[in-house]
Copies of this chain bind each other. A is one copy, B any other.
């Protein structure tokens, strides 16, 4: 806040083309419903075009000029990306100062990189490694032989069980749990016998994991979240799951053990995937869908419903569900030899 930036300079910094007066100075960024003079705002969703027309903002980041709007425009083919850059201009990221709190416990055999920040009440157990400039917020527990790469942000009360590997520039939000035991029990006449879970978890570079999300360690081998993938809050990832690159998974999704999810997959909130199946690259799963079997992109790129069906089929089906009582009545009339209603 309080940064003063000329629109001409802002356009350069966010890779946008300016339509308007480059000498105008802006000092902040606000949502389109609220932005006033001296502020930049952002138009993505077409629902909000009406706000653009009446906006008192100094400039709007958008894909194209909105006819009749007063503000200057900062045009980009990827306005959401330009918006991300503009937010950083006004809110440069601030990392906690490096240093190891005397209220933390760091085992002597643990190795810390340069400029690491270790907050109070962090525990770093035997043999663990933390990369340069990584920040561990209060209450984080880094188990034995865990490895965390450089430039990570590990928010308060995150738990990394022993042996888990985390790459570079990873963000782990508060309360997420990486490496808890997979859910495996052998039935016996005397009740369940626990299958020891002796595998691990690997979180690759540039992954972000949401608050209170849980990722189980593999029974044997590795549960993997690949480079660039983003998980929202309260997601459950079962043992031995493999998630590809640049995949996005919304909140409250559950993924059963040993399932393989491809790259550039998008999964809507509260979707559920059974174990031992595959979701191919580039597939989109609708919110709340239930996936019992492998999904092939060649059959459909988008899937919805329980059990999951191609999204266009689901749309037609869903529109008819409320008319099911009417259909039963119509069939009954046909059976009785009566003409359809309204004839």
Contacts and interface: CB of A to CB of B under 8 A. Distances in A.
Contact of A238 (B80, B183, B251, B334): B251
Interface of A: 29-31, 34, 45, 47, 78, 80-81, 83-84, 87-88, 90-91, 93, 101, 103, 105, 119-121, 123, 137-139, 141, 155-157, 159, 161, 171, 173-175, 177, 180-181, 183, 185-188, 191-196, 198, 206, 208, 210-212, 214, 216, 219-221, 227-228, 230, 232-234, 236, 238, 240, 245-246, 248, 250-252, 254, 256, 269-270, 272, 274, 276, 287-288, 290, 305-307, 309, 313-314, 316-318, 320-325, 327-328, 330-331, 334-335, 339-340
Contacts of A155: 159, 161, 180
Contacts of A157: 139, 141, 157, 159, 175
A139 B121 contact: yes
A288 B317 contact: no
Identify the interface centre among A159, A227, A238: most chain B CB within 10 Å of its CB.
A159
Contact of A335 (B185, B269, B334): B334
Contacts of A270: 254, 270, 272, 290
* Copies of this polypeptide in the complex: 3
Given A245-B191, A309-B321, A324-B321, A183 B210 contact: yes
A188 B77 CA distance: 11
A206 B210 CA distance: 27
Contacts of A91: 196, 198
A133 B20 CA distance: 54
Contacts of A211: 159, 177, 180, 214, 216
Contacts of A314: 322
A269 B272 contact: yes
A238 B335 CA distance: 48
